[in-house]
Structure 1
Amino acid sequence: MSFLWTSEDLVAAMGGRPLGPMPEGISGISIDSRSLEPGDAFFAIKGEAMDGHDFATAAIKAGAGVLVVAEGKLPSLGRLTAPMIVVQDVLAALEKLGLAARARSNAKIIAVTGSAGKTTTKEALRHVLSAVGKVHASAQSFNNHWGVPLTLARMPVDCDYAVFEIGMNHPDEIRPLAKMVRPHVAIVTLIAAAHLGFFRNLDEIARAKAEIFEGLEPDGAVLLNRDDPRWKLLDKMARAAGVEHIYGFGENARATFKLLECALHADHSIITAKIGGQEITTRVGAPGRHMV
């Protein structure tokens, strides 16, 4: 049987302390006892509203192969029958595991941010790339301080491509996540008023989204919406971060990847685009201009 992580590597990556007889390895990683699959490692993360340690027994009943728990919570857990890995902080341990997953991977990594369209873009990339290799991608919209390390930690060592969403509500949230993911390609879908409750204007939102450039791998590439009014600001910030390969997409005459024609139908669209100097006509299987 092939494992996502052997127990030996799991313990080493997190610097944890094993308690009880460890399984040979684990098949997946879960932070929710309701969706946990038998053989998964259950990470008892403490959130704002709930504490995963309160669901340790439920995780065992669901078939957890091992529990990752905080040292300070051990007395309150009582006598549990499952093997455990004890750490100082469960979220920090998940982050360490995510970093280890990134370090062992040879996959091409794509990170997507923006005020809208992140999940749609991520799923489109998952669909297209699956035709040419094994793809790992964020589940649902797991794009925050626990969703990104969770997605990294779940990344199989043999995947060819991985696609991550990176989101934010405040400044300085994207930067550490981007540096954790270290993408080869960073995409900014668009800048809009989705976060104006936490920012004074759209320029501030653009600057926060531009933090993704700081995690880009050397010689990496950035894709920007050439139709976005904040194109110039994003382009400037990418260059300031040392990015040399910057490409634009959209209908703008100067876009690197340019949409020329778009015929909308009830259940699909037919588009013509200029890519790499060639005009390509193709069918987009999802309806609506927002899918183009």
Structure 2
Amino acid sequence: MTLWTASDAVRATGGQASTDWQASGISIDTRSLKEGDLFIALKAARDGHDFVAQALNKGAAAAMVDHIPEGVPDDAPLLVVPDVMAALTALGAAGRARSRARVIAVTGSVGKTSTKEMLRDMLSGFGKTHAAEASFNNHWGVPVTLARLAPDADFAVIEIGMNQPGEIAPLAQLTRPHVAMITTIAPAHLEAFENIDGIAHEKASIFNALGAEGHAVFPCDLPTSPILRDAAMQSGATIWSFGYGSDRVRPADMTQTEAALVLRAHVGDMRVSVRLANAGAHFGMNGLGCLAVAQALGLDLARAALGLGHWQPPAGRGLRQTIVLDSVEELGFTLIDDAFNANPASLEAALEMLAKITPAQTQTGRRGRRIAILGDMLELGPDEQSLHEAIAQYPAIAAVDLVHCVGPRMAALSRRLPLRQRGRQVAQADDLTGLVHLLVAPGDVVLVKGSKGSLVSRVVDALRNLAVAEPGSRAHRKS
């Protein structure tokens, strides 16, 4: 299917096309480029113009550039623009303008990407649904997502993030959502804000893009919820709060089992049940918020709940797997990969989930342990040491048998733990990767959690590599 023609892209960006071309997709990375994509030569860590020739050789339909790169012939299929980033933003705006999709924008301190994927699964049962790839939620990720939006899509889910004040409002205005959802407000990016109220005001600016026909969805049980409510009211949008204190969308109960989280909710006059496989309780409120979105869109709630039940935590965000160490005896351990992001709220929730899982007992009678491998939580500002120390006081950590700490910030936690729980404390993730065979045993349940920059995902990879690789084995089996 043709996504952009040369003439459409010229009208959108004000650029000049060297030839007549048609593109079926958008790419900003030659490593993931597909034949027929329009390659966008962004200038980031590397200048995308250096890869234009490679993109065209791999089958790109054309490249958006601000000059003809060296080694690229003058008659190559190009869209030449004054500024590539500005042109990408314009292309995203044009993609949004021509689409019939009902657009849902999602932000929050925790759970943006997971909630975006929940919404994708929920809405796919009602029509053609487009959603952001991975965590495409910044000044280039949002325009890319909108530029990829097919005109005939029924729904679009756009994730919006921030690192600094003033980033969310312009991205929300670009997105022009029908529904804007805030997952939660928690200590994250505190380096850039004076306090958590500042984070709430920034997140609440997503509602500025709503009008009287829009819908604002936000949690009502937070200390910062009044800030969110005030912003929603000022937008003139219909308010859909969710949480225990909501009169519109509230949980009746949430039951955590070893295999799933069962959420029963009151949505208006209806009672709805959702089963989230392999999910911890921290995903329950995200699911509740998705039900609020479904109600705002006027969707059938029973079908929405069924769609939500198809979702499972992805890699890096709570994916649970059984790592088989011996395919004959079927000995292995459970790995919970939550290595993509971490802040105090999400870490506490992950530990609560770990505490609910009962380690297995092997045929020899050995009972497994609950083990946490925790990497630094980043961007917490001047209180980062006390926030890491405070983990030792989380109620759920008492159920953890052993805690291995990765990074200089987590060293503060290691010092606070009782000796019986104190595992290895290392300066960086690579110091642990060669030791993973000493850290786990059959029957164990192992949580790996940390900010992406702590690189504890490398520990996850090393743990996965312990799996047997015999033909027909069930290594890396999802549980």
Normalising by the smaller structure, the TM-score range is: over 0.9
Letter in 2 for 1:289: A
Partner of 1:52: 48
**Per-residue displacement from partner, 1:70-121 (whole Å, max 9, x unpaired)?**
0xx3264553663111000111111111111111111110000111100011
Judging changes above 3 Å, is the alpha-carbon distance between structure 1 residues 218 and 62 closer, same or farther for their aligned structure 2 residues?
farther
Consecutive unaligned residues of structure 2, counting only runs of 5 or more, are: 285-479
Residue of structure 2 aligned with 1:40, choices 21, 31, 37: 37
Task: Write the distance in 2 (CA, Å) between the matches of 1:165 and 1:178.
Answer: 10
CA apart distance, 1:247: 1.4
Letter in 2 for 1:3: T
Task: Write the distance in 2 (CA, Å) between the matches of 1:106 and 1:217.
Answer: 18
Does the alignment pair 1:260 with 2:252? yes
Task: Write the distance in 2 (CA, Å) between the matches of 1:82 and 1:268.
Answer: 53
3-state SS in 1 of match to 2:192: coil
Letter in 2 for 1:156: A
Partner of 1:290: 282
Partner of 1:236: 230
Q: Is the 8 A contact 2:68 2:74 kept in 1?
A: no
Give structure 1 regions of 4+ aligned residues with deviation exceeding 3 angstroms.
75-78
Q: Bigger shift: 170-179 or 80-89?
A: 80-89
Partner of 1:116: 110
Letter in 2 for 1:54: D
Judging changes above 3 Å, is the alpha-carbon distance between structure 1 residues 119 and 255 closer, same or farther for their aligned structure 2 residues?
farther
Percent identity of the aligned residues?
46
Partner of 2:202: 208
CA apart distance, 1:263: 1.3
Task: Write the distance in 1 (CA, Å) between the matches of 2:82 and 2:158.
Answer: 27
Partner of 2:62: 66
Judging changes above 3 Å, is the alpha-carbon distance between structure 1 residues 228 and 250 closer, same or farther for their aligned structure 2 residues?
same
Partner of 1:275: 267
Partner of 2:119: 125
Partner of 1:106: 100
Q: Is the 8 A contact 2:39 2:55 kept in 1?
A: yes
Partner of 1:164: 158
Q: Superposition pairs for residues 112-191 of structure 1, below 5 Å? A: 112-191=106-185
Judging changes above 3 Å, is the alpha-carbon distance between structure 1 residues 75 and 33 closer, same or farther for their aligned structure 2 residues?
closer
Task: Write the distance in 1 (CA, Å) between the matches of 2:237 and 2:9.
Answer: 37
3-state SS in 2 of match to 1:200: coil
CA apart distance, 1:284: 2.1
Task: Write the distance in 2 (CA, Å) between the matches of 1:92 and 1:77.
Answer: 25
Does the alignment pair 1:250 with 2:243? yes
Does the alignment pair 1:10 with 2:9? yes
TM-score w.r.t. structure 2 length? 0.58
CA apart distance, 1:281: 2.4
3-state SS in 2 of match to 1:63: coil
CA apart distance, 1:217: 4.2
Task: Write the distance in 1 (CA, Å) between the matches of 2:210 and 2:78.
Answer: 35
Task: Write the distance in 1 (CA, Å) between the matches of 2:209 and 2:278.
Answer: 32
Quote the RMSD (CA, aligned, Å): 1.4
Letter in 1 for 2:269: G
3-state SS in 1 of match to 2:188: helix
CA apart distance, 1:205: 0.7
Partner of 1:22: 20
Task: Write the distance in 2 (CA, Å) between the matches of 1:208 and 1:127.
Answer: 28
Letter in 2 for 1:136: H
Judging changes above 3 Å, is the alpha-carbon distance between structure 1 residues 114 and 27 closer, same or farther for their aligned structure 2 residues?
same
Task: Write the distance in 1 (CA, Å) between the matches of 2:278 and 2:112.
Answer: 16
Q: Which has the larger radius of gyration?
A: 2
CA apart distance, 1:5: 1.4
**Per-residue displacement from partner, 1:269-291 (whole Å, max 9, x unpaired)?**
22210002122223223421112
Judging changes above 3 Å, is the alpha-carbon distance between structure 1 residues 180 and 77 closer, same or farther for their aligned structure 2 residues?
farther
CA apart distance, 1:6: 1.9
Partner of 1:221: 215
Q: Is the 8 A contact 1:256 1:275 kept in 2?
A: yes
Task: Write the distance in 2 (CA, Å) between the matches of 1:158 and 1:58.
Answer: 31
Letter in 2 for 1:290: H
Letter in 1 for 2:241: G
Q: Bigger shift: 192-201 or 279-288?
A: 279-288
Judging changes above 3 Å, is the alpha-carbon distance between structure 1 residues 163 and 75 closer, same or farther for their aligned structure 2 residues?
closer
Total equivalences in the alignment: 284
CA apart distance, 1:202: 0.5
Judging changes above 3 Å, is the alpha-carbon distance between structure 1 residues 77 and 93 closer, same or farther for their aligned structure 2 residues?
farther
**Per-residue displacement from partner, 1:166-205 (whole Å, max 9, x unpaired)?**
0111111111100000001111111111110000001111
3-state SS in 2 of match to 1:180: helix
**Per-residue displacement from partner, 1:28-63 (whole Å, max 9, x unpaired)?**
00010110000100010111x211001111111211
Q: Bigger shift: 74-83 or 184-193?
A: 74-83
Letter in 2 for 1:40: D
